[in-house]
A and B are shown apart, each in its own frame.
Chain A
Amino acid sequence: MRKRVVKKLHHLIRNYAYKAAGKNTGPDDMDWIHQAVVEKYDLERIPIEADLATNIKRLKGISGYCPDFIIRQFEIGGGIGEAAAIFLEGMVERVLLNENLLKPLMIHYRPFKPARGSFLDQILSVALPVDVVKKCVNLHEVIDHVLEGSVVLLVDGESEGLALEAAGFKTRVPEEPMTEAVVRGSREGFTEALHTNITLLRRRLKTPNLVLESMVLGRISHTQVVVGYVRGLAAPELVAEVRERLKRIDIDGILESNYLEELLRDHPLSPFPQAITTERPDRVAANLLEGRVAILTENTPFVLIVPGELVAHMQSPEDFYHHFILGVFIRLLRWCAFAVSLLLPSVYVAVTTFHQEMIPIRLLLNIVAAREGVPFPAVVEALVMEIAFEILREAGVRLPRAVGQAVSIVGALVIGEAAVMAGVVSPLMVIVVALTGISSFLSPSFDLAISIRILRFPMMFLAGLLGLFGVATGMLAVLIHLAGLRSVGLPYLAGLTPFHHDDWKDLFIRAPLWMMRRRPAELSENNRKRQASGLKPEPPDRHPQGGTI
Chain B
Amino acid sequence: MGEVGPMREEGKISAYQAMVYQVSIVLATAILFVPAITAKHAKQDAWISVIIACFFGSLQVYTAVSLARRFPDASVVQYAPLILGKVPGKVVGFVYLFYFFYVGYFVLQEFSALMCSSYMPRTPPIVFMLVLSLLAVYAAYGGLEVICRMSSIVLTVVLATMVLVVLLIIKDIKIWRFLPALENGLGPILLGAIPPGGWFGETAVLLMLYPFIDNKEKVVKTSFLAILILFIAMEMVVIGAVGLVGPTEAACFLFPTFNMARLIKLEALPILERQDALFMMIWVAGMLIKLTTFFFAGVLGLAQWLNVKDYRPLILPSMAIMMALAVQAWENIAELFAFSGEVFPLTIIFVNFIITIFLLITAGIRHISTRKA
Contact = CB atoms under 8 A, between A and B. Distances in A.
Interface of A: 351, 354-355, 357-358, 360, 466-469, 471-473, 475-477, 479-481, 483-484, 491, 493, 496-499
A472 B281 contact: yes
Contact of B277 (A355, A476, A497): A355
B150 A479 contact: yes
A355 B147 CA distance: 30
Interface stretch (B99-107, B131-139, B250-258, B326-334): B131-139
Contacts of A491: 145, 149
B160 interface: no
B261 to A, nearest CB: 12
A360 B273 CA distance: 9
A497 B281 contact: no
27 contacts: A357-B274, A358-B274, A358-B275, A358-B278, A467-B119, A467-B120, A468-B281, A469-B115, A469-B128, A469-B131, A469-B280, A469-B281, A472-B285, A475-B281, A476-B285, A479-B150, A480-B138, A480-B142, A480-B150, A481-B138, A483-B142, A484-B146, A493-B149, A497-B149, A497-B153, A498-B14, A498-B149
B27 to A, nearest CB: 16
B1 interface: no
Contacts of B152: 497-499
B153 A476 contact: no
A358 B142 contact: no
Nearest to A479: B150
B227 interface: no
Contacts of A473: 131, 135, 284
**Closest 7 pairs between A and B when the two form their complex, measured CB to CB:** A472-B281, A483-B149, A484-B142, A483-B150, A355-B277, A497-B152, A484-B146
B71 interface: no
Interface in B84-109: none
A289 to B, nearest CB: 26
B142 A469 contact: no
Interface of B: 14, 16-17, 115, 119-120, 123, 127-128, 131, 135, 138-139, 142-143, 145-150, 152-154, 270-271, 274-275, 277-278, 280-282, 284-285, 288
Nearest to A473: B131
Contacts of B280: 468-469, 472
B319 to A, nearest CB: 15
| Interface SS of A by simple majority | helix
Nearest to B119: A469
A469 B282 CA distance: 10
A136 B196 CA distance: 82
B345 to A, nearest CB: 28
Contacts of A499: 16, 152
A498 to B, nearest CB: 7
Given A357-B274, A469-B115, A479 B154 contact: yes
A480 B139 contact: yes
A156 B152 CA distance: 74
A533 B284 CA distance: 44
B274 A468 contact: no
Given A472-B280, A472-B282, 6 more contacts: A355-B277, A357-B274, A480-B142, A483-B153, A484-B143, A497-B148
A497 B21 CA distance: 13
Give the most central of B115, B138, B281, B285: most A CB within 10 Å. B281
A147 to B, nearest CB: 47
Given A469-B119, A473-B131, A473-B135, A480 B146 contact: yes
A473 B134 CA distance: 10
Contacts of A484: 142-143, 146
Given A473-B135, A476-B285, A468 B277 contact: yes
Contacts of B150: 479-480, 483
Contact of A476 (B145, B275, B284): B284
Contact of A479 (B131, B153, B270, B275): B153
Contacts of B281: 468-469, 471-472, 475
A396 to B, nearest CB: 35
Contacts of B148: 497
A358 B149 contact: no
Contacts of B143: 484
B153 A466 contact: no
Nearest to B149: A483
A544 B17 CA distance: 43
Contacts of A469: 115, 119-120, 128, 131, 280-281, 284
A354 B274 CA distance: 13
A497 B145 CA distance: 11
Contacts of B115: 469
A385 to B, nearest CB: 23
Contacts of B285: 472, 475-476
Contacts of B14: 498
Contacts of A471: 281
Contact of B135 (A355, A357, A477): A477
A467 B122 CA distance: 13
Contacts of B288: 476
A469 B17 CA distance: 27
Contacts of B154: 476, 479
A468 B280 CA distance: 8
Contacts of A479: 150, 153-154
Nearest to B275: A358
A189 to B, nearest CB: 35
Contacts of A467: 119-120, 277
B149 A360 contact: no
A477 B275 contact: no
B120 A480 contact: no
Nearest to A355: B277
Nearest to B136: A480
Nearest to B140: A480
A236 to B, nearest CB: 21
Given A355-B277, A472-B285, A360 B153 contact: no
A351 B277 CA distance: 9
A476 B151 CA distance: 10
A291 B203 CA distance: 38
Given A476-B284, A479-B150, A483-B142, A468 B16 contact: no
A466 B135 CA distance: 15
Nearest to B142: A484
A286 to B, nearest CB: 26
Nearest to A361: B270
Given A468-B280, A480-B150, A360 B270 contact: yes
Nearest to A494: B149
A473 B153 CA distance: 15
Which of A354, A357, A472, A473 counts the most chain B CB atoms within 10 A? A472
A264 to B, nearest CB: 21
A479 to B, nearest CB: 6
Contacts of A466: 120, 123, 127, 131
A351, A469, A477, most chain B CB atoms within 10 A: A469
A360 to B, nearest CB: 6
A481 B142 CA distance: 8
Contacts of B17: 498
Nearest to A492: B149
A360 B274 CA distance: 9
Contacts of A481: 138
Contacts of A493: 149, 153
A357 B278 CA distance: 12
Contacts of B282: 472
Contacts of A475: 281, 285
Contacts of B145: 491
A72 B222 CA distance: 79
A477 B153 contact: no
B170 to A, nearest CB: 22
B285 to A, nearest CB: 6
A498 B153 CA distance: 9
Nearest to A481: B138
Contacts of B135: 473, 476-477, 480
Nearest to B17: A498
